[in-house]
Amino acid sequence: MRKTVLSLMSVAALALAGCNNAPSSSQSTDTGAASAGSAETATAAKVVSQVSGTISLRGSIQPSATAQLVINLVDVSATAAGSAPLASKTSPAGTFPQPFQLTFNPAQVKPDDLYVVQVILTDGERHYVMPMQAPVLAKGSKNDGVAIELVAEQTPGEKVLAAFTDDQKQLGGMKVSHGTKLDPNASRGWQVFRQAGKIQFIRELVDYGDKGFTSTDYAYKDGKVWAVVQQTMANSGAKPSSIDRAGWSDDGTLVLKQHQVGSDVQTLDDDAAAKLHRQAMDILSLATNGKNK
Give 22-32 pLDDT, tens digit per residue.
Answer: 454 445 445 45
Please return the burial class of 94, using the count of CB atoms within 10 Å of its CB with bins 0-12, 13-18 and 19+.
exposed
Question: Which range has the worst mean pLDDT, 48-52, 124-128, 139-143, 201-205?
Answer: 139-143
Rounded CA separation 200/221 (Å): 7
User: Are the C-beta atoms of 199 and 278 separated by less than 8 Å?
Assistant: no
pTM here is 0.73
Residue 30 pLDDT: 52
Please return the burial class of 199, using the count of CB atoms within 10 Å of its CB with bins 0-12, 13-18 and 19+.
buried
Residue 170 pLDDT: 94
User: Are the C-beta atoms of 178 and 160 separated by less than 8 Å?
Assistant: no
Q: What are the angstrom distances between the C-alpha of 289 and each of 24, 265, 285?
A: 112, 36, 6
Rounded CA separation 232/272 (Å): 13
